[in-house]
Structure 1
């Protein structure tokens, strides 16, 4: 791959362009909003000048509802040797292209499983995809050359290729991305008119649950409109669980002992099923989840605090497996949760205490 055309210079398109430029690929940028393409070019993602002839690969980074139309236009113009898109839904765009009667040997649908709450070229980074799965959905008609171009793109972006059927992909992302986003938004919506005194009690739990609810609604309308069936099926299952949980909670209010026991059993069931599902979420480097010990450190909100903690852990010979920060509401302080191997917890605790850090249980 020596040349590429990125059509759509939002977060994903500009991030891919930045990564390709770093690998020496000449990237041309196009967008329905020329100013956005110029912004991406100013960030170093390529040039907004049109290519003089066909490029090696055209990357369509448009919303799912517009992917087929943009791809069809590029194919009819002969803009590239190979074509791919990076939309979060795969089955629909391919069926639309088939309905248009286009030769799909030169096309492959892809989806990088990475993103941010922010959108647009200014949110883009060259390392957005590093270590993240990048789904490829080839068919029997896909040219080997196009599959190789897609694999080269994934390699340049330092992502991990995953091959899937298009419809299986759409069911999977409904489960791990689209449905959770709606549930997060529903939880966050409870806060909109809540009393200020209650909102000030927000801790890390509610922040974790509602983080993705900050995303652009217009973008998510496009995504959900392209994959409504699988998402609706999953939400129907969630709704059934909610109904059962509400009944169980009402039963806990009963004056009848048997009814209260029944309610407690219902709540325990949903919590245990939640435990069983949560442990299946891949852990570090995509491996099976591991049990870590947590060392909690109180820090001031000052520059260099985190760097000092990591340096002190390194001097103690302890590798930090994961880290979380819980900010104290209304205070210039926070709690840093350092996840380490169980055998390293005591070593890290002693080392941090010796260096003057305030630890918490």
Structure 2
């Protein structure tokens, strides 16, 4: 039961705020929605995320928790305003930067006993309430950064929020959090943007040759620049440190490649070492259930670009008892077909491949 959180106010109806509201609604929690953009509130409400909050009636509301889903630089001001109005019993935010908002809240004189900063490590390259999904947080880590002043009741309320959204709480110091997300989120976004920026001047020939690799590397570069400027500004120093390290590696790689172009075969070693370090780093990324990433086998199958094909493919997997751990689609430019790559357990790959061939599916 969600009796501890009967009513939750979500301030900010973007991707995270709307997704959170949708998740809570599925658990029977009453959700009130607020945003400076009335259009965003209306869309979130139409999507079933909750009902619009009426501030003039707030004293009559029994709000258990207010979730502040605004950019990092606005968190402290929003928290102060809500607390001055006595809006809720407890407060949290879901910004992707933690140290600066907490420090600013302390400077403004916010009540830190009723506030626990948090950050769900989930998102999409899309933004706005229309991109919201109730399952966005399922199985994802959700950082909580309680200060020494935070009460046990406030911490319990935020943990209950995380539980209702299906995420996994991870308690971490705010400064450690910001250094960590600089490595795994913020600097990668800048790096992806730098690669994608090269495409703005690319020739039509180059773009016509674009494959899945460049799509994978640049996928997150499609995020809202304004939103990301706020995130990067709030975590500037840690992100700069990571980017400087990446820049050093890239500069050394470029120098080695120049040497190779000039006929210096001894430069192979430097390139090889960077590529090996990349493989080692990639292999450390946790699997979908945490811990070491399991070794899956990819089964490739040609799939027509028409309605129902993907559903048929998954139906076959269900019939033969094969669980698909991951799926990726690569479209063939100019052709009404593509390749579906199904990641499965190693012992399941032969079973699935045989079942597909028996049903006249084409495997490359």
TM-score, normalization: structure 2? 0.95
Residue 10 (structure 2) aligns with: 6
Deviation at 1:9, TM superposition (A): 1.2
1:72 partnered with 2:72: no
Unmatched runs of 5 consecutive residues or more in structure 1? none
Aligned residue pairs, count:
356
Q: How does 1:113-128 map to 2 (within 5 A)?
A: 113-128=121-136
1:60 counterpart (49, 54, 68)? 68
Unmatched runs of 5 consecutive residues or more in structure 2? none
**Secondary structure of 2:113's partner?**
helix
1:110 partnered with 2:105: no
Deviations 1:252-300 (A, max 9, x none): 1223xxx312x10010010000011000001132231122222111111
2:149 counterpart (127, 141, 144)? 141
Contact 1:295/1:339, CA 8 A, preserved across alignment: yes
Q: How does 1:1-361 map to 2 (within 5 A)?
A: 1-50=5-54, 51=58, 52-255=60-263, 259-261=264-266, 263-360=267-364
Deviations 1:121-153 (A, max 9, x none): 121122111111111111221111111110111
* Cα distance in 2 between the residues matched to 1:45 and 1:357: 41
* Cα distance in 1 between the residues matched to 2:297 and 2:85: 57
Deviations 1:7-34 (A, max 9, x none): 1111111111122222222221111223
**Secondary structure of 1:105's partner?**
coil
TM-score, normalization: structure 1? 0.96
Contact 2:76/2:108, CA 8 A, preserved across alignment: no
Deviation at 1:197, TM superposition (A): 1.3
Contact 2:79/2:110, CA 8 A, preserved across alignment: no
The runs of at least 4 aligned residues of structure 1 exceeding 3 Å deviation read none
Deviation at 1:54, TM superposition (A): 4.7
Contact 1:201/1:329, CA 8 A, preserved across alignment: no
Contact 2:182/2:238, CA 8 A, preserved across alignment: yes
Deviations 1:170-204 (A, max 9, x none): 01111101000000011011111111111011111
Contact 1:54/1:78, CA 8 A, preserved across alignment: no
Which stretch of structure 1 is more off in the superposition, 172-181 or 329-338? 329-338
